[in-house]
Amino acid sequence: MSRDTLFTTDLHGNLSALRRAVERAEQVAPLCYVVLGGDLAPNLVMVRLRDGDFVLRHEACYGPKVADDFRARLREGRHYRPEDQHGKLPLAYAIELDVAAFLELGDDETRALLERPFSFDFLRERQREFVAGELLPLLRRYRDEGKEVFVMLGNDDFADLEAPLLEEERLGNLSYVHGRVCPLGRSQILGYSCVLSKPFRYRYWERSEEQIGQELSALTAGRDPARLLLSIHMPPHGTNLDMLWPDGRHVGSRAVRAALEAGRFGIGLFGHIHESHLFSGSRHDRVGGTLVINPGGYHDSECCAVIFDAANPEDWRGLW
């Protein structure tokens, strides 16, 4: 037996973290399979002024509060700090002004400068560029090395990214697993990208508990759970995997938990909640007898990944 399968998730544009995880995994054993569990593309915008970089989180539309919040950040000198973003790779947007000049602008001038980087159109275009120019070339390289690659999107990835991934699948370079069950060695992998409705800005992937339960039930119906590897972006409720900052409350899906309790699966691989292990003290748990793992999303100073034997997933090791 060998730990031939790598799972990592919530890269948010940080392909250096993926490369690091693959390199570390192959110090243990040659990889046959690489599974990416969603939130692949960048979702953080950084405005670059002449005298500093400042975080600007994307919004559905520009509004007065956006300008007020950004001005307050500038006045307080709250520069962009990579360590605060736990490994997310920001999208840079340059404005050729210094802080003092920016703060002298009126509302109309401020809107003219900030409306574009705050728009979904900007983020969507840059995510497409990232997938075409950075992600897919790396995944093709892994395929050329003999690794099979399995990919799904997450709640911060625009649905438009499905098209290039499906085209890449048609070319034989990867398997797109959301809403599907695909062969993985002698096992099968089930992918599911959707999450519960929360105050996220982009809502394409949001589902109710009832919808999640129905969709997972349809995907697992008639299949041998022991041969089924689950890659579900939303973690199960009430576990070590779903504890949210700042108070550690459980925010996972009860429907995902119910699906796990209905049968003992080969393994459950999750993401979405980056910080849960900081509260629970563990990145793994068991639900209904199934080993469940959320390797976390702190890709700055750590390697957040897990390797396991696809034929015997209980033979696993965390890379963190």
Residue by residue, pLDDT tens for the chain (320 residues) are: 589 999 999 999 999 999 999 999 999 999 999 999 999 999 999 999 999 998 776 665 677 788 888 999 899 998 988 888 889 999 999 999 999 999 999 999 999 999 999 899 999 999 999 999 999 999 999 999 999 999 999 999 999 999 999 999 999 999 999 999 999 999 999 999 999 987 778 899 999 999 999 999 999 999 999 999 999 999 999 999 999 999 999 999 999 999 999 999 999 999 999 999 999 999 999 999 999 999 999 998 789 999 999 999 999 999 99
> Is the C-alpha dihedral spanning 13, 19, 21, 25 positive or negative?
positive
Distance CA 172, CA 5 (A): 19
Q: Which CATH fold would you assign to the domain 5-42+127-319?
A: Purple Acid Phosphatase; chain A, domain 2 (3.60.21)
Q: In the chain, what is the straight-line distance between the N-terminal and C-terminal CA atoms, in Å?
A: 22
Q: What is the pLDDT of residue 1?
A: 56
Residues 6+ apart with CB under 8 A from 146: 32
Closest CA to 306 of 256, 271, 257, 260: 271
Q: What is the pLDDT of residue 83?
A: 83
Distance CA 166, CA 307 (A): 26
Distance from chain centroid for Cα 108: 35
Q: Give the domain ranges of the chain.
A: 5-42+127-319, 44-122
